[in-house]
């Protein structure tokens, strides 16, 4: 995939220049200098040779076949160039030229035209407005970067070109290698999704890093990332806050949702690890690039000093992993091989005067223990220490045992050569233990994701026709917010339990309906124009007999007409008064990038004050919903505290899944709240007491 770009048989540099000050010169030189083995064709209107290579006025005039064209001409010339490339059978483009969408106005139109040409010729394109691309496996450096990175296992894509140059500069000093290195530019054609799919299919890329300022197609990103992260870790930095939508938000869920929550849910549900800083991005990347994947969370520590051992232990416990407990054989081996003053339990302290041999005894014993999933080796330079030999020992044992081994050599001037050995032998090293622990934590997170049951999509049998009819009626009446009766209809059509409810249009009818439903009943004004029913006294609870129902109708009707002379009054709803349960909110807010974002939380003050709502993006499996419910902070209240019975979680899962299906099947729903849902003890189900549904305006 994308071979025309990353592994072309021949590359044309359009805008190649004999003038060393021009970008086109620099790009050509990079391709020539770094060992690309295919044919290289400078394209220049007049020159016959550039940098010793035969130059041609156009690609179509150059000897074919040419797979890739790197374009470094002014924006206004790009369309013609693409046409020529099309004629010449070029299928890959890297457009470095700027002056497109990023400058707005005419540039935006030009980019649209460019994309149309690209599609028309069946090409794929990186850019425009980018630094270029580097592939160390084909040794193609089609960029104007000042450096060629070492070959490595890390694939990196960035929406910021400046970050690319900084990272290349930074990694050159540290000897960190890359497999592919791409500046995404404006992402007109190839974006993070295309690269994820392509890179995920090539095991050369042991880990994929992305710096993203936005994701264009949320669902496609999630689908691609889900596939890739099953085998290859993906770590992302997402920066930049999306401007809040201009649509007024009218639901609880809408107010709590927002783009940040959507990105969090997207990364969470697709197994993408989110780095909180650039430092962490590379700390974690190195562990995945250099070491085998982890098989659990039981960590062994080997150290030559107590203090750093404590620091590492604290960090491991804080991050929710476990210190491994050694088996009897391991302990015996440690006791036999280490001095009496050494500490043989975890963390193993080989004591300050340890030479490489003592590290060998300790590390080989703990790595052989089946109760150990990974080892963290700490080293502080002390009198008699052997930093380099110890590094060799660590590298050898790590290779022998096939479990992840990370190190934290703490120091500077006296450990330089040892750090070079560790890096060369692919042992990720960290200046301080906390960074190593953060990397281990990411490995464990990836392990949990990899081994998590996939979950199955559930499709309930529902009455879509009925929903369509409700929406059509509301729209015909020019409304985007459904009335309670309509919302009830929609939820009932999707199989949710609702209290019995009938519309009365006179006091006498109200009394009769109340008799039928059974006392006590609740009565509420029914009007498409009155959304905040309580505010006008339009709700009466605990109506105990027919006479009271008769009176209630009159009072409610009177208030509604007084409140708003123009309101269209449908009547008064007479409703079964539901028994109390645990009040839960289930809501949906549609994110512009990721689609329906579904929130679940305990209702009332838990939502209002604690904002304790867990979000997931549709589509959802039952497994997803289960995790979602368990991630609510007040989840213990659902499980039952103070001797309360547990709530009917299966019923709650069911409702969340039905809501997810509803909003997937009806994209015109932009927001909805079920609030409250009364959730009863296990086995007793749940009932929707009130709901709001808002359609696309």
Q: How far is the CB of 511 from a second copy (least distance, A)?
A: 33
Q: Residue 537 interacts with a second copy (CB under 8 A)? A: no
281-340 binders of a second copy (CB under 8 A): 304-308, 310-311, 313-315, 317
Q: Which position among 163, 300, 556, 600 is part of the footprint of a second copy (CB under 8 A)?
A: 163
Q: Residue 240 interacts with a second copy (CB under 8 A)? A: yes
93-152 binders of a second copy (CB under 8 A): 144, 146-147
> Between 399 and 641, whose beta carbon lies closer to a second copy?
641
> Between 30 and 661, whose beta carbon lies closer to a second copy?
30
Reply yes or no: is the peptide bond before residue 155 cis, omega within 30 of 0: no
Q: Which position among 37, 243, 340, 413 is part of the footprint of a second copy (CB under 8 A)?
A: 413
* Spatial contact of 598 and 615, defined as CB atoms under 8 Å apart: yes
Contacts of 32 (CB under 8 A, 6+ apart): 40, 51, 53
Q: How far is the CB of 408 from a second copy (least distance, A)?
A: 9
Q: How far is the CB of 213 from a second copy (least distance, A)?
A: 6
Q: Residue 239 interacts with a second copy (CB under 8 A)? A: yes
Burial class (CB in 10 A: 0-12, 13-18, 19+), 558: exposed
> Between 241 and 562, whose beta carbon lies closer to a second copy?
241
Distance CA 186, CA 100 (A): 8
Q: How far is the CB of 134 from a second copy (least distance, A)?
A: 16
Q: Which position among 381, 455, 495, 681 is part of the footprint of a second copy (CB under 8 A)?
A: 381
The two structure tokens encoding residue 441: 């934590």
Distance CA 188, CA 93 (A): 12
Size of the site for a second copy (CB under 8 A): 67
Q: How far is the CB of 83 from a second copy (least distance, A)?
A: 29
Q: Residue 415 interacts with a second copy (CB under 8 A)? A: yes
Q: Which stretch binds a second copy (CB under 8 A): 104-112, 469-477, 601-609, 659-667?
A: 601-609
Strands 582-591 and 669-679: antiparallel
Distance CA 125, CA 69 (A): 10
């790595």: which residue's tokens? 367
Q: Which position among 279, 562, 592, 631 is part of the footprint of a second copy (CB under 8 A)?
A: 279
Instruction: Calculate the alpha carbon distances from 88 to 24, 85, 235 in Å.
Output: 20, 5, 38
Q: Which position among 329, 610, 630, 683 is part of the footprint of a second copy (CB under 8 A)?
A: 610
Q: Which position among 204, 242, 380, 593 is part of the footprint of a second copy (CB under 8 A)?
A: 380
Q: Residue 170 interacts with a second copy (CB under 8 A)? A: yes
Instruction: Calculate the alpha carbon distances from 590 to 247, 350, 597 in Å.
Output: 11, 57, 6
Q: How far is the CB of 676 from a second copy (least distance, A)?
A: 14
Q: How far is the CB of 162 from a second copy (least distance, A)?
A: 3
Distance CA 31, CA 50 (A): 13
To the nearest 10 degrees (0 to 180), the angle between helices 218-229 and 192-200 is 20
> Between 15 and 200, whose beta carbon lies closer to a second copy?
15
Distance CA 88, CA 83 (A): 9
Of residues 188, 171, 157, the one with CA closest to residue 272? 157
Sign of the dihedral through C-alpha 23, 26, 27, 28: positive
Q: Residue 420 interacts with a second copy (CB under 8 A)? A: no
Query: Can you tell me whether residue 610 is helix, strand or coil?
Result: coil
Distance CA 141, CA 2 (A): 16
Q: Residue 390 interacts with a second copy (CB under 8 A)? A: no
Instruction: Calculate the alpha carbon distances from 230 to 2, 198, 449 in Å.
Output: 21, 15, 7
Q: How far is the CB of 350 from a second copy (least distance, A)?
A: 12
Q: Which position among 138, 160, 319, 593 is part of the footprint of a second copy (CB under 8 A)?
A: 160
Q: How far is the CB of 58 from a second copy (least distance, A)?
A: 28
Q: Which position among 20, 636, 643, 697 is part of the footprint of a second copy (CB under 8 A)?
A: 636
The two structure tokens encoding residue 552: 């209630």
Site string for a second copy, 15-54 (x = CB under 8 A): -----------x----------------------------
Distance CA 5, CA 90 (A): 10
Q: How far is the CB of 311 from a second copy (least distance, A)?
A: 5
The two structure tokens encoding residue 509: 């009818």
Q: Which stretch binds a second copy (CB under 8 A): 33-41, 428-436, 445-453, 589-597?
A: 428-436
Q: How far is the CB of 61 from a second copy (least distance, A)?
A: 30
Q: How far is the CB of 73 from a second copy (least distance, A)?
A: 18
Distance CA 489, CA 466 (A): 8
Distance CA 167, CA 144 (A): 14
Distance CA 132, CA 182 (A): 6
Q: Which stretch binds a second copy (CB under 8 A): 61-69, 166-174, 513-521, 667-675?
A: 166-174
Distance CA 634, CA 611 (A): 11
Q: How far is the CB of 392 from a second copy (least distance, A)?
A: 20
- DSSP letter string over 136-195? TTTTEEEE--S--PEEEEEEEEES-HHHHHHHHHHHHHHT-EEEEEEE-TT-SSS-HHHH
* Spatial contact of 674 and 586, defined as CB atoms under 8 Å apart: yes
> Between 306 and 370, whose beta carbon lies closer to a second copy?
306
Q: Residue 605 interacts with a second copy (CB under 8 A)? A: yes
Site string for a second copy, 207-236 (x = CB under 8 A): ----x-x-----------------------
Q: How far is the CB of 458 from a second copy (least distance, A)?
A: 30
> Between 340 and 454, whose beta carbon lies closer to a second copy?
340
Q: Which stretch binds a second copy (CB under 8 A): 4-12, 155-163, 224-232, 659-667?
A: 155-163
Strands of 239-308, DSSP E:
273-274, 298-303
* Spatial contact of 415 and 381, defined as CB atoms under 8 Å apart: yes
Q: Which position among 91, 159, 270, 661 is part of the footprint of a second copy (CB under 8 A)?
A: 159
Q: Which stretch binds a second copy (CB under 8 A): 320-328, 406-414, 575-583, 657-665?
A: 406-414
């009335």: which residue's tokens? 483
Q: How far is the CB of 29 from a second copy (least distance, A)?
A: 13
Q: Residue 435 interacts with a second copy (CB under 8 A)? A: yes
Contacts of 589 (CB under 8 A, 6+ apart): 249, 251, 253, 254, 256, 257, 596, 597, 599, 670, 671
> Between 308 and 676, whose beta carbon lies closer to a second copy?
308
Q: Which stretch binds a second copy (CB under 8 A): 135-143, 168-176, 390-398, 663-671?
A: 168-176
Of residues 71, 89, 86, 52, the one with CA closest to residue 133? 71
Strands of 595-666, DSSP E:
595-602, 613-617
Residues near a second copy (CB under 8 A): 26, 144, 146-147, 158-163, 165-167, 169-174, 211, 213, 237, 239-241, 276-279, 304-308, 310-311, 313-315, 317, 352, 380-383, 410-416, 431-435, 605, 608-610, 633-634, 636-637, 641-642
């Amino acid at each position: 995939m994308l071979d025309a770009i990353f592994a072309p048989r021949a590359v044309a540099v359009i805008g190649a220049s004999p003038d060393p000050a021009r970008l086109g010169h620099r790009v050509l030189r990079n391709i020539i200098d770094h060992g690309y083995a295919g044919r290289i064709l400078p394209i220049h209107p007049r020159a016959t040779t550039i940098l010793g290579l035969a130059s041609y006025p156009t690609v179509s005039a150059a000897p074919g076949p040419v797979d890739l064209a790197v374009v470094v001409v002014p924006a206004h010339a790009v369309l013609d160039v693409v046409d020529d490339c099309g004629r010449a059978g070029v299928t890959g483009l890297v457009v470095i030229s700027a002056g497109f969408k990023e400058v707005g106005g005419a540039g935006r139109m030009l980019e649209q035209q460019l994309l149309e040409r690209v599609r028309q010729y069946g090409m794929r394109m990186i850019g425009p407005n980018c630094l270029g691309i580097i592939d160390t496996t084909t040794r193609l450096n089609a960029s104007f970067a000042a450096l060629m990175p070492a070959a490595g296992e890390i694939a990196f894509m960035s929406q910021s070109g400046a970050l690319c140059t900084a990272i290349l500069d930074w990694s050159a000093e540290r000897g960190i290698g890359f497999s592919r290195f791409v500046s995404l530019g404006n992402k007109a054609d190839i974006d993070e999704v295309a690269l994820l799919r392509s890179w995920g299919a090539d095991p050369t890329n042991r880990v994929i890093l992305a710096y993203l300022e936005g994701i264009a197609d949320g669902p496609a990103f999630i689908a691609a990332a889900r596939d890739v992260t099953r085998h290859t870790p993906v770590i992302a930095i997402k920066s930049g806050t999306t401007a809040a939508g201009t649509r007024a938000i009218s639901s609880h869920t809408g107010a709590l949702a927002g783009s940040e929550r959507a990105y969090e849910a997207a990364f969470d549900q697709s197994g993408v690890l989110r780095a909180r800083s650039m430092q962490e991005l590379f700390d974690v990347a190195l562990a995945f690039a250099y070491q085998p994947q982890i098989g659990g969370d039981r960590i062994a520590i080997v150290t030559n000093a107590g203090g750093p051992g404590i620091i590492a232990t604290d960090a491991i416990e804080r991050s929710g992993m476990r210190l491994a407990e050694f088996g009897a054989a391991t302990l015996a081996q440690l006791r036999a091989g280490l001095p009496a003053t050494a500490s043989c339990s975890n963390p193993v302290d080989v004591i300050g005067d340890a030479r490489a041999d003592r590290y060998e005894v300790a590390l080989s014993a703990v790595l052989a223990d089946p109760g150990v999933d990974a080892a963290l080796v700490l080293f502080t330079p002390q009198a008699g220490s052997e930093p380099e030999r110890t590094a060799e020992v660590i590298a050898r044992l790590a290779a022998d045992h096939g479990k992840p081994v990370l190190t934290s050599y703490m120091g500077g001037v006296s450990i330089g050569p040892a750090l070079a050995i560790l890096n060369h032998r692919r042992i990720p090293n960290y200046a301080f233990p906390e960074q190593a622990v953060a990397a281990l934590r990411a490995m464990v997170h990836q392990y949990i994701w990899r081994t998590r049951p996939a979950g199955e999509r559930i499709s309930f049998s529902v009455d879509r026709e009925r929903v369509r009819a409700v929406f059509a009626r509301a729209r015909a009446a020019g409304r985007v917010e459904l009335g309670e009766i309509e919302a009830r209809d929609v939820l009932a059509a999707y199989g949710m339990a609702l209290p019995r409810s009938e519309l009365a249009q006179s006091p006498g009818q109200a009394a009769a309906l109340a008799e039928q439903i059974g006392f006590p009943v609740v009565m509420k004004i029914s009007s498409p124009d009155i959304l905040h029913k309580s505010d006008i006294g339009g709700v009466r609870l605990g109506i105990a007999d027919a006479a009271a129902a008769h009176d209630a109708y009159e009072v409610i009707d009177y208030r509604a007409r007084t409140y708003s002379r123009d309101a269209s009054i449908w009547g008064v709803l007479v409703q079964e008064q539901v028994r109390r349960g645990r009040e839960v909110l289930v809501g949906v807010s549609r994110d512009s990038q990721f689609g329906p974002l579904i929130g679940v939380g305990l209702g009332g003050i838990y939502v209002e004050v604690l904002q304790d709502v867990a979000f997931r993006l549709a589509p959802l499996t039952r497994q997803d919903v289960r995790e979602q419910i368990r991630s609510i902070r007040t989840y213990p209240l659902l499980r039952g505290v103070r001797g309360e019975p547990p709530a009917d979680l299966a019923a709650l899962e069911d409702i969340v899944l039905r809501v997810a299906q509803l909003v997937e099947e009806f994209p015109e729903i932009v927001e909805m709240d079920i609030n409250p849902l009364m959730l009863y003890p296990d086995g007793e189900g749940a009932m929707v007491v009130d709901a709001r549904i808002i359609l696309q305006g």
